[in-house]
C-alpha cells in the first residue's frame, strides 16, 4: 500500500495527496485505484505534478472524499488484465455460439449430424429429428398388433390364418396348444429327407400313418385279422425303408394293438406273412 492518503473532489481532475510521494509512483498513464462508499474507482493519471498533486485524464465523478487509502496500478498490468478479461469473454461467447449451432442441428437437421464439443473434438450421430422419423409408424411389439387400425388386413399380409401365425414366420400355425405341438413336431422332422438309419430309430409319437418307418405310435380303427376287436392305439417297430405299405422278403414288423375293448393284440409281419395273437393276463 503506497504512503499517505488522497482527497478526491467531485467533478475535479485534481487528486490531492497527504503524506504521499507521487513523484515515485504513479507515473503518467498509470492508474490510481481507491474505494469510495464501497465502489472501486480506477482513475487514469495524465500527469504527476508534485509529490502531493496528480492530474487525472478525466474528472472524478464520485462524491468528494478525503483520507482515502489508495493503490497505484501500472498501465501494463491493467491493460493485461483487461485483455485477459476480453479474451475470456470472447471465449465464452464463442462457446455459446457453438452450443447454439450444435443444438440447432440436434433439433432440426435430418440424418446424421456432426457437433463440436468444448474441447474441440467432434461427434457424429443421428439428429433427434432423424430418430423420431425412424421410429414413426413402427409397431410396438408389446401391443401384439393391437396398435394397428386395420388388424385383419395386417394379419392377412403377414400370412395369418384365423389369427394363427404360420410356422414359416416363426409361429405355430395354430391357436390352441394341442394343434401347435403337433404342427411343431411334424414340421421339426422331415420324414422324406431323413436317411434310412435315422428313420429306423425315429420315434414319431402321434403320427397318423400306419406305414411309418422305424418305430412309432399311431392310432388306427380296424378289425384285425379275424379278431372282433377295434384298434385304439398301435405301437410298432420295424425295419422298413419306405412308407408304401408293401412288406416282403427281409422286412419284419411287430405291433402291439391296444384295443378299445381293453384287450391287447400282438401282430407280426415277417417276410410278408402276418399273424395275430390275443394276449391274456390274470387281471379281472
Q: What is the pLDDT of residue 129?
A: 80
Cα(6)–Cα(55) distance, integer angstroms: 13
Cα(109)–Cα(135) distance, integer angstroms: 16
Q: What is the pLDDT of residue 187?
A: 66
108 and 66 both lie in a single domain: no
Average pLDDT over residues 37-44: 91
> pTM, whole model, 2 decimals?
0.33
Query: Per the structure block, which three cell numbers stand in for 4?
Result: 499517505
Instruction: Identify the domain boundary among 24, 53, 73.
Output: 73
Cα(124)–Cα(114) distance, integer angstroms: 4
Q: Give me the percent of the chain exceeding a pLDDT of 90.
A: 20
In a domain, 138, yes or no: no
Residue pointed to by grid coordinates 384285425: 224
Q: Tens digits of per-residue pLDDT, 159-212? A: 555 667 776 666 777 777 777 777 776 666 555 554 444 444 444 444 445 566
The closest of 246, 264, 245 to 256, measured between CA atoms, is: 264
Cis peptide before 147 (omega within 30 of 0): no
- What total of structural domains would you count in the chain? 4
206 and 239 both lie in a single domain: yes
180 and 256 both lie in a single domain: no
198 and 275 both lie in a single domain: yes
Q: What is the pLDDT of residue 197?
A: 42
Q: What is the pLDDT of residue 115?
A: 82
Cα(266)–Cα(284) distance, integer angstroms: 20
Cα(123)–Cα(33) distance, integer angstroms: 48
List CB contacts of 133: < 8 A, sequence separation 6 or more: 110
Q: What is the pLDDT of residue 224?
A: 60
267 and 217 both lie in a single domain: yes
Q: Tens digits of per-residue pLDDT, 212-267? A: 667 777 776 666 666 667 767 788 888 877 666 666 788 888 888 887 777 788 88
Find the domain containing 103 and state its range. 85-131
198 and 265 both lie in a single domain: yes
198 and 271 both lie in a single domain: yes
10 Å Cβ neighbour count for 16? 15
Q: Of 49-53, 143-147, 161-165, 225-229, which has the strongest mean pLDDT?
A: 49-53
21 and 94 both lie in a single domain: no
237 and 268 both lie in a single domain: yes
In a domain, 146, yes or no: no
124 and 165 both lie in a single domain: no
10 Å Cβ neighbour count for 169? 10
pLDDT confidence bin for 7, thresholds 50/70/90: very high
The closest of 262, 277, 270 to 226, measured between CA atoms, is: 277
55 and 23 both lie in a single domain: yes
Amino acid at each position: 500500500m503506497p504512503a499517505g492518503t488522497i482527497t478526491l473532489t467531485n467533478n475535479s481532475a485534481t487528486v490531492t495527496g497527504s503524506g504521499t510521494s507521487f513523484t515515485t509512483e504513479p507515473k503518467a498513464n498509470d492508474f490510481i485505484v481507491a474505494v469510495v462508499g464501497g465502489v472501486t474507482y480506477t482513475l487514469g493519471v495524465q500527469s504527476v505534478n508534485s509529490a502531493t498533486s496528480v492530474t487525472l485524464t478525466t474528472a472524478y465523478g464520485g462524491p468528494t472524499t478525503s483520507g482515502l487509502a489508495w493503490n497505484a496500478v501500472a498501465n501494463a498490468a491493467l491493460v493485461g488484465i483487461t485483455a485477459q478479461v476480453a479474451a475470456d469473454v470472447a471465449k465464452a461467447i464463442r462457446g455459446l455460439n457453438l452450443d447454439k449451432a450444435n443444438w440447432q442441428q440436434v433439433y432440426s437437421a435430418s440424418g446424421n449430424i456432426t457437433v463440436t464439443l468444448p474441447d474441440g473434438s467432434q461427434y457424429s450421430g443421428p439428429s433427434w429429428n432423424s430418430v423420431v422419423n425412424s421410429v414413426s409408424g413402427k409397431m410396438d411389439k408389446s401391443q401384439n398388433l393391437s396398435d394397428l387400425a386395420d388388424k385383419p388386413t395386417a394379419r392377412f399380409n403377414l400370412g395369418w390364418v384365423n389369427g394363427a401365425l404360420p410356422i414359416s414366420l416363426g409361429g405355430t400355425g395354430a391357436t390352441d396348444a394341442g394343434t401347435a405341438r403337433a404342427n411343431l413336431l411334424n414340421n421339426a422332422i422331415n420324414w422324406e429327407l431323413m436317411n434310412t438309419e435315422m428313420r429306423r430309430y425315429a420315434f414319431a409319437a402321434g403320427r397318423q400313418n400306419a406305414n411309418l418307418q422305424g418305430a412309432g405310435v399311431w392310432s388306427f380303427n380296424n378289425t384285425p385279422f379275424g379278431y372282433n376287436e377295434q384298434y385304439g392305439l398301435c405301437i410298432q417297430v420295424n425295419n422298413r425303408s419306405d412308407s408304401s405299405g408293401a412288406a416282403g422278403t427281409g422286412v419284419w414288423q411287430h405291433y402291439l394293438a391296444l384295443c378299445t375293448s381293453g384287450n391287447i393284440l400282438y401282430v407280426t409281419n415277417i417276410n410278408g406273412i402276418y399273424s395275430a395273437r390275443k394276449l391274456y393276463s390274470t387281471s379281472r
